[in-house]
Structure 1
């Protein structure tokens, strides 16, 4: 099912009235098909507009809204209202429920025929259960508070159905599922318990357990889950649910034992395996558990639970889901200036040493009236590439740079990209990646973008899409990360070790000290997550770049060192000694060894 085209920029009721005007003209010309399209779009803009319903019921028929693939939301709405008016309430309710599943935030069911207390009596209990369960399964548990008003017609439907069918046990536990997701856990408990009293069942017990869980009534929740296991002792899904419940109750060790018991019976269980990987990662922080989960997800791409666990656990560490925070002095000043109530139009800022050019760029975009003055250049010179062999050896030969220095100031060394490339990167940069394998996969959308344009967008970034100027540092880091992830797909047919994409990313990572160095390392790390053949090489490259930063920090500030520590910890097969040093660099209470 796909949404009809509308931009939503104007008042929805005005948009709907405009569509109805077009529909009336089409009807006057006898063009029923065009009229139906306009009415369907009007319903999409304003589902409760009386004029749209009046025109629909008076002038059009089901034949004007054929069931075709893909079925547009407006067409489904129109058919539902026509069916309801003609007594086909089972099919009408199924359609309106499917629309709500597809776009849960829409107020599609705010119509009179859905609100009647007698509606459930005109619909079979089986249809009610199918619609309620289908909608519940499409929703978050629970949905965000601002999204709940759209579900109110279905909440009332559950209440009316319970009054109409007091003896239908299945309908009561189905209603409990929906009520829980709609934020009404207390009602959900009552519905589930009533269902169990009518007819003890696995579904009723699980529904009660989940409702109690949402209320954080852990004792009752566990008792209900054990009741479910009493009914079906061998149900591995329920055992996994119990593991997750115990984990949320604050007993992670016991929770992992429950999950591992399931894996003893089925080592690759579709629910327990992701759950166990997530719990093991929480327990010891070993990246191997997330790598195992990523490999499992690659084998089972349709496993939404594995995807969700990997995404949730990735959110606990910088770079696994979003860049680490910037820590430069100029960024701290940027935030301080923007937090002042009275606007500061300009001035001069002196920094003791060169900071990453990208940090300077973010500062300049947010506060264009300021002048930055660098007082001195400490050793080792951050403007130069990283030493190639040994901390005192010659600098690496770098052929690809995005910055060049004029004295202590950096200027772009590459041309601005075209608007199409800018937009392609900006679309990706507006949100975090789900996890590193997901980032690598999504970046394939940039495979057709030229290398010059991907390099250019890192130093000629898209305009900030948000009103808050404090977002500039993160926005630029997101843009650079996605651009480098795009480079990781450049000439993807070449083997990694001898590829042009590797050489470019290495040049960027080992070039002058900058946020681009971090972005290039991220792209290499994401490659290693999905390409085992690249892991040893990437681990060596990331490890050496991190060690060079540690050594440089002995004599001067290295603003990206903390971020490089997180990148090292995100690297598959990193040498244990390097991993220990990265952990030490992040521990303020421990003095790192040389």
Structure 2
């Protein structure tokens, strides 16, 4: 049924009006061609009409006219051969199959169509509704219905969103009748439970899964019913019951490794990760590289102790087993919304809060001199953020607390900032227009995982080093940035930080032909890491983290330098506020793959805020 995926359509309108017009046009063309006697050509347009709007009654009226002209449904089948290209033609074939009494084939074919193109109302057809009676459902082949359900459930989501759920509802009504007539057909009932769960009919899903579990046709089939029952109970929030069901099956037959993984994850979701780990350890004794158990145990270990070393190991598992997509799913899930794993960290400077207040004013783009007075210096990039909003934005500092945040923690060659007393200015030229355009297009506040960020920034690999450094202090305007809801312009600090992370990770791709220990990219990133106390330090640390995750031979070096920068910030935090300290702590933990990158030094109480 792969051909059904080649759904034919033309212009799309959100309200469906374009599809309806297209379908009506195809109906008119089909009738004209029917009058000429060219049935093959007419059949193509009938299929296109159904494919454009499967719920259009006129499309099925012209199909009936075509069947009559062909001399009946049996003859009309040849007009819609199995080799047809479009889903609409397949839907016509299903209708004709039903008309000749081959109803099981028709139901199977319609299920395959829904599975291939789930976002159209294929099931809104009279012939399907007519089968939802006890007598008609009893005559259907449960095996074909079960196979069709496998197509449907894989495609519609769990739970199925609207309008898919409404589109599938007529098919589900038939399935309910088939289950009532064939409750002993365990495999089919299991798949029906899966559909009920996706339709959010959880009581029915649980009842059907229990029915399937109670029928004893052998351990494999018993396990399938248990799996469906566990999933339904889990969706219903009855986690402990789901655990009990799966434990019974797994303890009776430890070869049910897939169920064992599900049990372990349920234990994790019930705040019992240690028990889940014990289950997976037993699975891995007999299958050390199990596609799901091997990554799942790393995920549970991370849930248990929040040590990012398990996440790195999860990524390494995926590198060595690229076909194990479950590892990638888990890594994405665990990193997605965590600072410096799946997204940027938030800025906390008082300057940023002032900028946001300015953004809420009537004239945030004012040319007037506006600013804020602080008791101590803050990150130069926070001032840069203010200048993006108001060119004459300024910050006055009452005092520079020691150690001086303007000074690098060691002698460096690259310093993007210069200072006139306490006022920061870019110390490097602006980047080229090409670099600015790339950053404008690619800057992102959420990247998913560190390796995903590393890959994303590869698009900057061909830029000169001066361009990449220039982006750090000359970010493109957030206006018209391709972020949803105008987010970049509303929160310019998000934007500046995103550009800086992108630029630094782009530096990680500079001259990758050079060996890491003596490379320009390493030297540049370390200079930025150890330079003026600023968001750029965080961005450089993040770039180094992505290098460590993706290039294991660099890990000891990366962990050593990121940890050293954190320790320098912690030392400074003894006498003054260090706004980037918490970020650097998180970044240090995100590269805790060796002894050099172990737990950071104990946190000390920080002095009061401004």
Normalising by structure 2, report the TM-score.
0.78
Query: Is 1:439 aligned to 2:443, yes or no?
Result: no
**Highest CA radius of gyration, 1 or 2?**
2
How far, CA to CA, are the matches of 2:357 and 2:445 in structure 1? 25
How far, CA to CA, are the matches of 1:279 and 1:445 in structure 2? 34
Shift of residue 310, structure 1, vs aligned partner: 1.8
Aligned to 2:547: 527
Residue deviations 1:523-560 (CA, integer Å, cap 9, x gap): 11111112121112212221222233233334443322
Partners of 2:260 and 2:279 within 8 A in 1: yes
Shift of residue 322, structure 1, vs aligned partner: 0.8
User: Which of residues 221, 235, 238 in structure 2 aligns to 1:217?
Assistant: 238
How far, CA to CA, are the matches of 1:503 and 1:28 in structure 2? 74
Shift of the 46–406 alpha-carbon distance from structure 1 to 2, 3 Å rule, reads farther
User: Which of residues 251, 255, 258 in structure 1 aligns to 2:276?
Assistant: 255
Aligned to 2:394: 372
Residue deviations 1:241-288 (CA, integer Å, cap 9, x gap): 222222223322222222222222323222222121111122223222
How far, CA to CA, are the matches of 2:466 and 2:543 in structure 1? 17
Q: Which moved more, 1:272-281 or 1:115-124?
A: 115-124
Partners of 1:179 and 1:185 within 8 A in 2: yes
Shift of the 375–424 alpha-carbon distance from structure 1 to 2, 3 Å rule, reads closer
Query: Is 1:360 aligned to 2:374, yes or no?
Result: no
How far, CA to CA, are the matches of 2:21 and 2:470 in structure 1? 46
Instruction: Write out aligned runs for 1:394-473 (5 A).
Output: 395-398=411-414, 401=416, 408-411=423-426, 413-418=428-433, 425=439, 428-430=442-444, 432-448=446-462, 451=465, 454-455=468-469, 457-458=471-472, 459-461=475-477, 463-464=480-481, 465-467=483-485, 468=487, 469-473=489-493
Partners of 2:273 and 2:300 within 8 A in 1: yes
Gaps of 5+ in 1: 389-394
3-state DSSP of counterpart to 1:439: helix
How far, CA to CA, are the matches of 1:78 and 1:281 in structure 2? 48
Partners of 1:528 and 1:572 within 8 A in 2: no
Aligned to 1:111: 124
Shift of the 496–344 alpha-carbon distance from structure 1 to 2, 3 Å rule, reads closer
Q: Which moved more, 1:120-129 or 1:481-490?
A: 120-129
Aligned to 1:391: none
Query: Is 1:507 aligned to 2:520, yes or no?
Result: no
Aligned to 2:371: 349
How far, CA to CA, are the matches of 1:439 and 1:179 in structure 2? 38
Instruction: Write out aligned runs for 1:180-259 (5 A).
Output: 180-199=197-216, 201-229=222-250, 232-259=253-280
User: Which of residues 130, 136, 145 in structure 1 aligns to 2:147?
Assistant: 130
How far, CA to CA, are the matches of 1:431 and 1:258 in structure 2? 37
How far, CA to CA, are the matches of 2:507 and 2:189 in structure 1? 54
Aligned to 1:392: none
Aligned to 2:318: 297
Aligned to 1:278: 299
How far, CA to CA, are the matches of 2:342 and 2:383 in structure 1? 24
Partners of 2:8 and 2:88 within 8 A in 1: no
Query: Is 1:323 aligned to 2:339, yes or no?
Result: no
Partners of 1:387 and 1:548 within 8 A in 2: yes
3-state DSSP of counterpart to 2:513: coil
Normalising by structure 1, report the TM-score.
0.80
3-state DSSP of counterpart to 2:393: strand
How far, CA to CA, are the matches of 1:142 and 1:170 in structure 2? 21
Gaps of 5+ in 2: 68-75
How far, CA to CA, are the matches of 1:4 and 1:478 in structure 2? 40
User: Which of residues 83, 86, 90 in structure 1 aligns to 2:96?
Assistant: 86
Shift of residue 156, structure 1, vs aligned partner: 3.1
Q: Which moved more, 1:16-25 or 1:423-432?
A: 16-25
How far, CA to CA, are the matches of 1:321 and 1:518 in structure 2? 14
Q: Which moved more, 1:542-551 or 1:439-448?
A: 439-448
Shift of the 428–87 alpha-carbon distance from structure 1 to 2, 3 Å rule, reads farther
Aligned to 1:178: 195
How many residue pairs were aligned?
569
Shift of residue 422, structure 1, vs aligned partner: 5.7
Partners of 1:274 and 1:305 within 8 A in 2: yes
Partners of 1:417 and 1:452 within 8 A in 2: no
Query: Is 1:564 aligned to 2:574, yes or no?
Result: no
Shift of the 266–80 alpha-carbon distance from structure 1 to 2, 3 Å rule, reads same
Aligned to 2:73: none
Shift of residue 359, structure 1, vs aligned partner: 2.8
Shift of residue 350, structure 1, vs aligned partner: 1.1
How far, CA to CA, are the matches of 2:66 and 2:521 in structure 1? 61
Shift of the 34–79 alpha-carbon distance from structure 1 to 2, 3 Å rule, reads closer
